[in-house]
A and B are shown apart, each in its own frame.
Chain A
Amino acid sequence: MITAGIDVGSTYTKVVLMDSEGNVLTRGIRNTGFQLTRVARETFETCLEEVNLAPGDCSYVIATGIGRHQCDFKDLTVTELTAGARGAKFYFPRTCTVLDIGGQTMKASRVDASSKVEAFRMNDKCAAGTGAFLEKTARYMGYTCKEIGPLMETSRQSVPISGVCAVFAESEVINQLSLGTPPGDIMQGAIESLTTRSVQLMKRIKGQPEYTLIGGLLRFKNMALAVKAQLGTEVNVPPYGSCQFACAVGAAKLAQIRANKLGLTGQQNAGVAV
């Protein structure tokens, strides 16, 4: 039995296919853009082709993320919170606190042993506490999103970036550049600014170990290191490249549980609009 998790996020759409043993068969990612329905379907179909499957081979599909309702071949939708909690537990079963930093949101949640969310907080107002903030900071300095990771690796001493919003941070970045501060140090400062916000969120929900960090921003190794340093405790990070797939993995796992409950064993109606 094959199940699928589709995470239609504000920045990227992620798809995971899972077998009945809970193994991730394949995964795919594309820019979400403005055609959410089409991108979700194409990413799903590309994943199926990679493992020589047809849409009908997939028993159950769960969609999550801000664009989940636009996914026209889903069997069910769940919130990012539910999917993220399940995804974090998939990688680290003893997870008690989940920090999810995506393109537009930062969310902290405390979860119980059964992956039920007990407490939740998210960033307020604008995108200052999210990936968009880092992307803008990089852009002000003439770097692309892909260059953020390597740029941070060059940092020797971070500089504080205290901007309360992404717009306001621009003047700080320009000021630092005019002082001759290396771009890597500015980028690292931006990461640490985000980290401070994320640790505050986790304190507000009375987060407890084990802490698991998910979301696109955690693909930058320095982000996890900064959270670890500020929290003063170990943190879990899914294997390299898997952080941004955690919600899709969680959705696929929930789809597997749901399919088992419904007694679905093989080919079902996935691929048909519901």
Chain B
Amino acid sequence: MALQSPHDSLSQEELLSEGWKRRAMLSSERLVEVKDIYHELGLEILVRKPEIDQFKPECGACRSQACREYWVLFTRKKKS
């Protein structure tokens, strides 16, 4: 599932400053569906693993599990 892209080394803040919008945090199976949807809408798609500090403390043990099993999806308008 890992996607190599020139944006891999950028932090989330840097991605946002480059016009990417954070859309959702998703499991692998749901990610396929949602990628199709944003692709259909004509948007550029970037997928990253979440970082543990992106979760609220009350998420507890779910945080580390989510970091292993979930993906964060970003989109931006394609450059014409």
Interface SS, B side: helix
Contact of B37 among A120, A123, A165 (CB under 8 A): A120
**CB-contacts of B51-80 with A (<8 A):** 56, 58-60, 62, 66, 70
Complex Cα distance, B70 from A126, in Å, reads 9
Cα separation A121 to B42 with both chains bound (whole Å): 15
Chain B residues, CB < 8 A from A117: 40-41
Say whether B37 contacts A66, CB under 8 Å: no
Q: Within B3-57, which residues are at the interface with A (CB < 8 Å)?
A: 23-25, 29-30, 32-34, 36-38, 40-41, 56
Contacts of A120 in B (CB 8 A): 37-38, 41
Question: A181 contacts the other chain (Cβ, under 8 Å)?
Answer: no
Which one, A104, A123, A164, contacts B59 given CB within 8 A?
A164
- Are B37 and A81 touching (Cβ within 8 A)? yes
Contact residues in B for A168 (Cβ distance below 8 Å): 58-59
CB < 8 Å A-B pair total: 42
- The reply to whether A81 and B40 form a contact with Cβ atoms under 8 Å apart is yes
Is A225 positioned at the interface, with any CB of B under 8 Å from its CB?
no
Residues on A with beta carbons closer than 8 Å to the beta carbon of B23: 121-122
Which residues from A are CB-within-8-Å of B60?
Answer: 167
Instruction: Quote the shortest CB–CB distance from A160 to chain B (angstroms).
Output: 16
Is the CB–CB distance between B59 and A80 below 8 Å? no
Q: A105-B30, A165-B62, A167-B62 are in contact. Are A125 and B41 (CB under 8 A)?
A: no
Tell me the bound Cα distance from A54 to B41 in angstroms: 36
Q: Which residue of the partner chain B has the closest CB to A119?
A: B41
C-alpha gap A116/B38 in the complex (Å) = 13
Contact B40 A79, beta carbon cutoff 8 Å? yes
Query: CB distance A80 to B37 under 8 Å?
Result: yes
Asked if B24 and A123 make an inter-chain contact with CB atoms under 8 angstroms apart, the answer reads yes
Structural contact, A164 and B66, CB atoms closer than 8 A: no
B33 touches A80 (CB 8 A): yes
CB distance from B18 to the nearest CB of A (A): 21
A82 within 8 A of B: yes
27 contacts between A and B (CB under 8 A): A66-B29, A66-B30, A66-B32, A79-B36, A80-B33, A80-B37, A81-B37, A81-B40, A104-B30, A120-B37, A120-B41, A121-B23, A122-B23, A122-B24, A122-B34, A123-B24, A124-B25, A125-B24, A125-B66, A126-B62, A126-B66, A164-B56, A164-B58, A165-B62, A167-B60, A167-B62, A168-B58
